[in-house]
Each structure stands twice: as C-alpha cells, then as structure tokens.
Amino acid sequence: MNIFQSALLGIIQGLTEFLPVSSSGHLVLVQSLIPNFSQEGILFDTFLHFGTILAVLVFYFNRIIKLKFNEIKILAIATIPAVVVGFILKDGIDAIFQNTTLVGFALIVTGLMNLRTDEHKEITDTVDIKNGIIIGLFQAFAILPGISRSGSTIFGGTLLGVKKEKAAEYSFLLSIPAVLGANLLEIIKSGEDFVLLPEYIVGIICSFVFGLICIKVLLNMLSTNKFKYFGYYCILVGVVSLIAK
C-alpha cells in the first residue's frame, strides 16, 4: 500500500463513515479493485475509523464535555453488544472483511433500512437505557461490512420513536467507545510488530477532514427527509457488486 492508496481510502472512509452507506463495505469493495493491494489484517481499516472518531470528538466537543453521568452510563451499557459480538468474531473478522459477496447483500439490507428511516414517527428527543441498549444491538449488527453503523443505529433510534437528529447524535457518540476499543484491540493483536506507518497517518488525516464535512451533510439530509436516496444508492451498489462478482 502506498501513500496515494492510503489517502484515497482515507477519503472514502471520511465520506462514507457518517453517511448511512457503510464505510467498511466501501473499503472492502474499493480495496478489491486496487491492483495488488494488500494489508496485514484490518489494522489500517481500523485506524481509518479512528480518524473519523476524531471528527466526532471535534464536532461534538461541547456536547461531550457536558454529558451527564446517566448519559455516559447509557452509552457504556449500549456499547456492550458490540464488544460481545466483536469478541465472538475476532478470530474470523479478517475473512469476513474479504467477503465481497457478503458486502453486496449487506448493502442491500442497509438500503432497505435507509428507505424506512424517514417513515418512522418522531416521538421523543431522549434516549433512555432501554432504547440505548436496543440501538446498541443495531450497532453490533453493523460489525458486518456492508451494514452501515450510522444507518442501522439511526434506523434503530427512529424505529423506537427517537427524533432523527437526536438518533444521529446518539449514533455518533455511541461510536466513540466502540471504535476506540476496536483500535486498542487491533494494536494489541499486532503486538511488537505494530508501527504507525506514514501511510496510516495520511489515511487518518484524510478520514478526519472528510469525516467532519460529512457529519454536517448527514445532519442536513436528516432535516430534509432525504434518507431514502441513501437507500437507493446502497441497493444499487449492492446489486452491482453481486452481479460483478
């Protein structure tokens, strides 16, 4: 992997992490199209997610420092399902991320969720512990490449009657412990072989910058009931990837 490839993948990660189109699915598909592309496991992909988490920390900094203890507790509990699923799949996760057929089907599922999001009734702008756990289960489901983490958690939130903007905020905040934990796990798995290569740094910077931009884009899309267009896009990409396979 060279600097150009890492920058390209960082841009793709930044563009697709917060839009409900599955960044991991797009990374798998794009990497499969790059001639002779190779990386050790999914460490690089995980670090690209770290760049977009930095974008969340910057964008929601004022909100994060004002989080109440109960909100932090709910976020912590809601993270548990993803931790459990990640632990169960840890030995086979590399193979899962190389399965483009799985990504194609998963993108279609993501598309169907996106088509439904705008149709849910908005009842509340708070997330209690029950709703938090259910949204956390949707996040755990999104460990599969092709299932959008933001798309599935926002879908889960609105399915429970949470207003879309609040569901999006909760989705972004919920991603922080999950992704930081995944980064730590991959570093531990790398052991003494871990080196923060220049390609990693370039990828992180690109995903951070474009991630910031796309947080704003998503919030604007939510307020104008245009989530369905992401649904059409995901279904199209999923079908095309399956046909091309």
pLDDT tens digits along 69-85: 999 999 999 999 998 98
Give mean pLDDT, residues 177-194: 72
Among 22, 13, 7, 2, which Cα is nearest to 230's? 22
Q: Where are the alpha helices (DSSP H) in the chain?
A: 3-17, 23-33, 43-59, 61-64, 69-89, 93-96, 100-117, 129-141, 149-159, 164-190, 198-223, 227-244
| Distance, CA of 66 to CA of 54 (rounded, Å) | 18
User: How much is the pLDDT for 245?
Assistant: 67
Domain that holds residue 207: 3-244
- Using the predicted structure, report yes or no on whether residue 192 has a pLDDT greater than 60: no
User: How much is the pLDDT for 193?
Assistant: 62
pLDDT tens digits along 200-224: 899 999 999 999 999 988 888 887 8
Least confident of 145-149, 181-185, 206-210: 181-185
What is the number of domains present in the chain?
1
